[in-house]
Structure 1
Amino acid sequence: MKIYQFGLLFAALSLTACGGGDPINLSGKPVDGGNPTTPIEPTAELKVAISSSPHASTLVKCVKAQTRADSCSLNELSFIYNENPNPTIDDIMNRLVVSDDWMINRFRDMLTDNNMPNTIMPLFQSVRAIVISSDVRPSYFTPYSGAIYLDPDYLWLTNAEKATIKKEDDYRAAYAKKFQFLATERFVFNNTTISAPGSLSDKTERSLGAALPEFAGLLFHELAHARDIYHDSFMVTLTPSDKKLSEIYHDRDTPQMSDQVFVSTYKLTNSDMQAISLNLYGGEESKDKDQQARILTYTAAEVGSLLEREGANDQYAYYKTEEDFAMLFEESMMKKHFNVDRDVAYLEVPDITDPKCDDYIIGWGQRNRIAASEVRPRALAVVKKALANASGTDLIEVEDFFNRLGSPTTLPLIGYCSAINPNSRSLSNSDYDPMQDIIRY
């Protein structure tokens, strides 16, 4: 699921770039406190993956420290960058915390697979820990712990593994029901979705190869959040101390990468789109009652037209500047490394009981939106900023990649499932629920 605490359960932050000193809630979960049904941290019993890790005594404590008050200091837990700016598998595994043993081998298998992009590993320099827990749904990053929290739904292969994962509907799905459209997105290859087969509610098993691309996309997204906040030009200024990481974060002079990139022409400014995203992803209505009433009348075609006018590649980009950064990085890296395209589409909601997939008609949609003239320079700027340890040759390769992107493809204004193949007009009878594509993490 696509959220960001920079991800899930909660975030209580004060970001100059996002509303001055007001606390922002990046996931829609409660700010500093929570309650028994909406916790601010994984509630499953956690353990270190590698008992001999030099950080074994502090890892669990520090990944549970997600509020400003209980954040761990750098003396308690450093960034991977401080140990090795070029992280190895061992460096990363020594920072892993899990709720279930199977997650250890599965995570290692994913990272060491030949198909895992080599640009993933250096990005881990910007985290202090990795958490995989049965109740982390969806994934997120929080700058107070400096850890990424990964949804194990992206990792399971067997029925025994998926049986350990908490089955809970994404609370954000309810936010979409007030609108006349659905904002969806999906990755496709050769006119077929790359989503691995099976779900938490069936008995289908899958291979590591089938699950790996989506897991790579998850890592690109969450590590982009970590990199945005704790990039090497900031971390090089840090020295070990007893000062809480949350205070280091708030007292920083070096701006986030997203603040450095999204200035002047690169900044998204459409206030109606921002209000829609606050509704969709945070459950927060606009304080301007006229604006709130207006956005509730928008059709899929009208919202798509608004997106097309600016350089966003997704509706989620309007939620927070940090999401704009991560969405551009994720789509770019998935295209570069897997040659998969991403569909972004707005669907008209059918006024019938139990609609099938093709009852949701596309009002506006594009494939490979990062190739659009409004989006491409923003995506290029993000990728060049976010890549860790990139050489001059690497950056030239990135520019060549963006120069070869071509143009976006307009999706036909037909049923959502049928439109996955823009060259076909045959209707699908699929029971696939497009609601699954409104939020990934």
Structure 2
Amino acid sequence: MKKQLITIALSSLVILSGCGGGGGGKAQDRSANIDGDPALELLRAYQSDSPSAAAALDCVTLYKKNQSCLVSDIAPLGYVTSQNVTVEDIAARLVVSHAWMGDNFVSALREMPQDLLNLFRSVNAVVLSYEVRPSFYHSGTASLYIDPRYLWLSDSQWRDIYQQDDYRDAYQSQLKFITANRYLDPYGDYVLTSNTYDVDYNASRNLEQITRGLYRLLAHELAHANDYLPQDTLADLDTSQTVWWNIQRRIPANSELNRDQPLSSTMLHQMAQVSFRGEKPTQEQLQFDAATMGNEFEFDGAADFYAYSSQAEDVAMLFEAFMMHKEYQATSDVAFLVEPTVSDPNCDDYKIGWGQRDRLADSLVKARAKQVAERILLRDLGTEFSHIDENTDPLPFGAGWCEAQSYFVSGKPIIKSVQQAQSRFFFRDDFSRE
């Protein structure tokens, strides 16, 4: 098949997003994933008899050669059909390292709403591979690369996964604060289940549990795909060119948002480059604590601190928060926590320096999320957003992160007390970011 070489810097193409979590499992070759770039050497088509199988398999690794997929070889699903995207359509574009990953992914997709499935119109292929960590979308291939920690159901499946922490954890370890985010249902229970295996507390999961976590991840990554290749532009793709060539000739949603409702904090933009991109911090930045960060963050319009790492992540965090509210009536807790001084901290050793419940209800965040969601979903969402009140609540300063889950605030339902088993493992995932 014909390929077209493009000369680009990888940093201009890759939109990385990842989750935290501990180790465990069998030891594996560390060359499988270096600084978030998976080797992708064990891939095969999930459906080998699919007409698009060979093209999908070939496309997803082209970015490693600084190449982009030619649209005449493989085009996004929305270019091929204007109908609702089916689970079968997506399954035909799956590339996997282990068959169970495809099986679990397809089963979870069958539980998801059509709104989410239709966002795959902007996608060429989906990679599910044992060494992908963190998950990411790549604009050179218009494909999603999914961390299999979102897919495992059993101990044997967990042991197939490459056990490596998010490479960006090291960037944040030198700072005085930790960022946290969690989604709670109207009763104050966690919407999501931990992606970290624990032999005592989380040794197996059911389909409903992985579906919720995968829904959140896909809302985030599909926001990237639809940001760069909006569905209403797919019919105009130039099939003689690469997908990256076509993307460059569009104005992404993140540029529109930055033009119309930009984030204002220079300090938070700079700190996000330290926390998520590995820039060397200044001595002044090393002194910023959780309260300082939160006080700066509170009056800007980001859904999460991770939004400051790039304009694209700003869009993805806003869209993710809206979709979680829409599907699960979820509210988001966001916080800057004090780095514990004890050697083996538990959940409540992470004290809140600044925190807020229902960040999406903030007037600035809500307005920015509405612009993003309407651009991605291509319809008016006035009714949906009118049901989101503009009433955020502070989380208690100095409280432990798990303790604050049960904190009652005016205007919100009484929250159930946290079970000790939840406190054991859920908070590990709260410290991560796609």
- Shared fold (TM-score, shorter chain, > 0.5): yes
Distance (whole Å) between structure 2 residues aligned to residue 69 and residue 198 of structure 1: 32
Correspondence for 1:19 = none
On the 8 A contact 1:198/1:204 being kept in 2, the answer is no
Distance (whole Å) between structure 1 residues aligned to residue 10 and residue 168 of structure 2: 18
Please report how far the alpha carbon of residue 176 of structure 1 lies from its aligned counterpart in structure 2 after TM superposition: 1.2
TM-score (norm 1): 0.84
- The structure-2 alpha-carbon separation of the partners of 1:425 and 1:228, relative to structure 1 and needing over 3 Å to count, comes to closer
Residue of structure 1 aligned with 2:10, choices 9, 12, 15? 12
- The structure-2 alpha-carbon separation of the partners of 1:173 and 1:101, relative to structure 1 and needing over 3 Å to count, comes to same
Correspondence for 2:21 = none
C-alpha offsets along residues 378-419 of structure 1, whole Å, 9 cap, x if unaligned?
A: 01111101115x4xxxx2xx2222222121122122011110
Correspondence for 1:405 = 388
CA RMSD of aligned residues (A): 2.4
Correspondence for 2:27 = none
Distance (whole Å) between structure 2 residues aligned to residue 371 and residue 425 of structure 1: 22
- 1:269-418 pair list within 5 angstroms: 269-285=264-280, 292-387=282-377, 390=379, 395=380, 398-406=381-389, 407-413=391-397, 414-418=399-403
On the 8 A contact 1:367/1:411 being kept in 2, the answer is yes
Distance (whole Å) between structure 2 residues aligned to residue 426 and residue 211 of structure 1: 23
Correspondence for 1:218 = 217
Q: What's the secondary structure of 1:183's corresponding residue? A: strand
Tell whether 2:131 aligns with 1:135: yes
Please report how far the alpha carbon of residue 126 of structure 1 lies from its aligned counterpart in structure 2 after TM superposition: 0.3
Report the number of matched residues.
399
Residue of structure 1 aligned with 2:405, choices 403, 410, 420? 420
Q: Relative to structure 2, which stretch is displaced further, 375-384 or 35-44?
A: 35-44
Correspondence for 2:411 = none
Q: What's the secondary structure of 2:181's corresponding residue? A: strand
Distance (whole Å) between structure 2 residues aligned to residue 94 and residue 65 of structure 1: 19
Distance (whole Å) between structure 2 residues aligned to residue 175 and residue 198 of structure 1: 22
Correspondence for 1:154 = 150
TM-score (norm 2): 0.86
Please report how far the alpha carbon of residue 334 of structure 1 lies from its aligned counterpart in structure 2 after TM superposition: 0.4
Distance (whole Å) between structure 1 residues aligned to residue 416 and residue 176 of structure 2: 24
Distance (whole Å) between structure 1 residues aligned to residue 342 and residue 197 of structure 2: 27
C-alpha offsets along residues 257-307 of structure 1, whole Å, 9 cap, x if unaligned?
A: 11122214x101311101111111111136xxxxx2222211211111111
Distance (whole Å) between structure 2 residues aligned to residue 358 and residue 428 of structure 1: 13
Distance (whole Å) between structure 2 residues aligned to residue 322 and residue 198 of structure 1: 24
Please report how far the alpha carbon of residue 355 of structure 1 lies from its aligned counterpart in structure 2 after TM superposition: 2.0
Counterpart residue type for residue 96 of structure 1: L
On the 8 A contact 1:275/1:285 being kept in 2, the answer is no
Counterpart residue type for residue 124 of structure 2: R
Q: What's the secondary structure of 2:54's corresponding residue? A: coil
Correspondence for 1:101 = 99
Counterpart residue type for residue 386 of structure 2: N
Counterpart residue type for residue 403 of structure 1: S
Please report how far the alpha carbon of residue 40 of structure 1 lies from its aligned counterpart in structure 2 after TM superposition: 3.6
- The structure-2 alpha-carbon separation of the partners of 1:354 and 1:301, relative to structure 1 and needing over 3 Å to count, comes to same
- Structure 2: 5+ residue stretches without partners: 1-8, 19-30, 409-414
Residue of structure 1 aligned with 2:163, choices 160, 164, 167? 167
Distance (whole Å) between structure 2 residues aligned to residue 76 and residue 53 of structure 1: 14
Distance (whole Å) between structure 1 residues aligned to residue 169 and residue 309 of structure 2: 15
- Structure 1: 5+ residue stretches without partners: 1-10, 16-23, 29-34, 287-291
On the 8 A contact 2:294/2:354 being kept in 1, the answer is yes
Identical positions, percent: 33
Counterpart residue type for residue 385 of structure 2: F
- The structure-2 alpha-carbon separation of the partners of 1:299 and 1:134, relative to structure 1 and needing over 3 Å to count, comes to same
Residue of structure 2 aligned with 1:267, choices 262, 273, 284? 262
Residue of structure 2 aligned with 1:184, choices 175, 180, 185? 180
Distance (whole Å) between structure 2 residues aligned to residue 196 and residue 42 of structure 1: 28
On the 8 A contact 1:183/1:345 being kept in 2, the answer is yes
C-alpha offsets along residues 163-220 of structure 1, whole Å, 9 cap, x if unaligned?
A: 2111111111111111111111111122222232563353611111122111100010
C-alpha offsets along residues 412-440 of structure 1, whole Å, 9 cap, x if unaligned?
A: 22011110111289899744485532223
Distance (whole Å) between structure 2 residues aligned to residue 93 and residue 74 of structure 1: 19
Counterpart residue type for residue 155 of structure 1: L
